[in-house]
Amino acid sequence: MKTTTFLNALFVFLLSIFSVTSPLVNAALPPENNLFNEQTFAIKNVNIHTMVKGKEALINTNIVIKNKKIVSIAEPIPDNILVIDGRGKWLIPGLIDMHVHGVADFNFGEDELNRETNLFFDTQDVMTPYIANGVTTIFDLDARPENFAQRNEIKKGNVIGPRIALAKFIDGGEGINKVNSPVEGRLAVRLAKFDGYGFIKVYSFLNIATYEAIIDEAQQLGMKVVGHIPISFKTRINDAFIPHFGMIAHAEELARWAKKNTDEEALRLATLVKNNNTWVTPTLTVMDWITKQARTLDDIKQLSSLKYLHPIFQDKWINNNSYQSSPEFIAHVDRIADFNKKLVRALKSLDVPIVLGTDAMVSGVMPGFSVHDELKLLVEAGLTPKEALNSATNLAAQWLGIHKTSGTIEVNKIADLILLNSNPFIDISNTTDIYGVAVNGRWLSDKIIDSMLKNLAAKNKQSQGKYEWGKRAAY
């Protein structure tokens, strides 16, 4: 019966799409924003970590940007262009966050059948914390149609923001849009492909047969799969590692299967990952924040970047926080956080690709800022600063399939760049010492970035007290 209902809904949807007799044409394009005027500029006498495998840093060299791309490295600088003095500074590729939950217009009401947006978010406000931190690409693992609209705003020039990869979230269980059979799972993947999603995210409550069908269908349609290990596997975690399960979304997806909190157990689980050619986003920062919140909310209340978060989420994180709990829960999350670090070391020892993800928008995990937190935690867990940066640049671009245009600093690649005042290979915390960012070839100095953040904080302050998470359905 459920399968029939799903098929009927799909048929009606497709019929409504294809029955349109006259497609929309001649739609007026939005006016160009001054932030998006074409730029030609150069950075001279700069040190460059290209993040190209096997290449050493380029010292005291020049790089020229034109038409959003890198057009020359170590060549003379043309006359009559903007020149940025890079003496003593270090240039790295723009950072990639491989696990975010995007904020977009949403219906927080209870009417699921006639969903109308009741809370709207300014896309520039959502994207500013990312670009201010040099995060020039994000991977949304719970994407909705509204996120396509945000991506279009960025592409059209209405908003300056990161490139956005979108994954369709698929889960089982009760409720609308849940899939509980292989047929439903395959149809969900096909519909996601039809809708324009590039990736599939599998979640915890899928049954085994549906999980396997989703991954198989995704492989046939050329869509990579990321996600959780369904709890339906129970003690049979080995069986979850099937071909084309491309990436595990959290280290704790492995940690919760651990029989002991030991290095040997971490190596056992890491070996399963290695043998299946699966990659991992550890998302250490989200568990770090959960362990803090389980004890006290003081760290969130004192978070210096909290002012850049929309007031309704500030209220959610502080006044509707779900992580404060019992001593037993604190011990549980402490064990997972500790085991996650063991997993990182084990994964590294087996050369399993580790890519940076944060789970941004889980309480405490600030968009953009949390990437730098994750870099530090990865280094604390055993990666070198170079390896940590590689996880947020070259490797992440490879998994997303954008490595021909992004992820490294090379001629003809898109100019997504961060200019740092100090060498991040010496101290990973130097990634926060930003002199400027190039986003899709547009140069944003530290003064421009500071101004954007200041304006965002002021806007949020004006709205303080107007939004309460507990009343979100009424807006």
pLDDT per position as a tens digit, 31-70: 333 444 558 999 999 999 999 999 999 999 999 999 999 9
Count how many domains the chain has. 1
Give the C-alpha separation, 167 to 42, whole Å.
35
Q: Which residue has the tokens 């399960």?
A: 245
* DSSP-assigned states of every residue in 179-216: --SHHHHHHHHHHHHHHT--EEEE-TT--HHHHHHHHH
First vs last C-alpha separation in the chain: 36
Residue 12 lies inside a defined structural domain of this protein: no
Is the model's pLDDT at 138 over the cut of 90? yes
Looking at residue 33, its pLDDT comes to 39
Is the model's pLDDT at 418 over the cut of 90? yes
Residue 62 lies inside a defined structural domain of this protein: no
Is the model's pLDDT at 360 over the cut of 50? yes
- What residues form DSSP beta bridges with 90? 47, 420
| pLDDT band, very low/low/confident/very high, at 13 (cuts 50, 70, 90) | very low
Q: Mean pLDDT throughout 75-101?
A: 97
Residue 471 lies inside a defined structural domain of this protein: no
Residue 21 lies inside a defined structural domain of this protein: no
Looking at residue 217, its pLDDT comes to 98
Range of the domain at 250: 93-408
Residue 473 lies inside a defined structural domain of this protein: no
Give the C-alpha separation, 296 to 170, whole Å.
33
- Segment 226-280, tens digit of pLDDT: 999 999 998 899 999 999 999 999 999 999 999 999 999 999 999 999 999 999 9
Q: At what angle do helices 263-275 and 327-349 cross, to 10 degrees?
A: 60
Looking at residue 111, its pLDDT comes to 57
Looking at residue 31, its pLDDT comes to 35
Looking at residue 108, its pLDDT comes to 79
Is the model's pLDDT at 313 over the cut of 90? yes
| pLDDT band, very low/low/confident/very high, at 325 (cuts 50, 70, 90) | confident
CATH assignment at residue 280: 3.20.20.140
Is the model's pLDDT at 184 over the cut of 90? yes
Q: Mean pLDDT throughout 125-140?
A: 98
Q: Mean pLDDT throughout 391-414?
A: 98
Residue 40 lies inside a defined structural domain of this protein: no
What pTM did the predictor assign? 0.91
Looking at residue 114, its pLDDT comes to 58
- Segment 215-228, tens digit of pLDDT: 999 999 999 999 99
Query: Which residue in 451, 472, 463 sits closest to 128, CA to CA?
Result: 451
Is the model's pLDDT at 23 over the cut of 60? no
Is the model's pLDDT at 26 over the cut of 50? no
- Segment 422-475, tens digit of pLDDT: 999 999 999 999 999 999 999 999 999 999 999 999 999 999 989 999 988 888
Instruction: Pick the more confident residue, 199 or 114.
Output: 199
Residue 82 lies inside a defined structural domain of this protein: no
Q: What are phi and psi of 47, to 5 degrees?
A: -95, 135
What separation in angstroms does the CA of 116 have from each of 107, 113, 124? 6, 9, 22
Give the C-alpha separation, 242 to 278, whole Å.
9
What separation in angstroms does the CA of 80 have from each of 46, 77, 201? 19, 9, 48
Residue 441 lies inside a defined structural domain of this protein: no
Helices (DSSP H) in 261-411: which residue ranges?
Answer: 263-275, 284-293, 298-301, 311-319, 327-349, 369-381, 385-391, 394-400
In contact, 394 and 52? CB cutoff 8 Å: yes
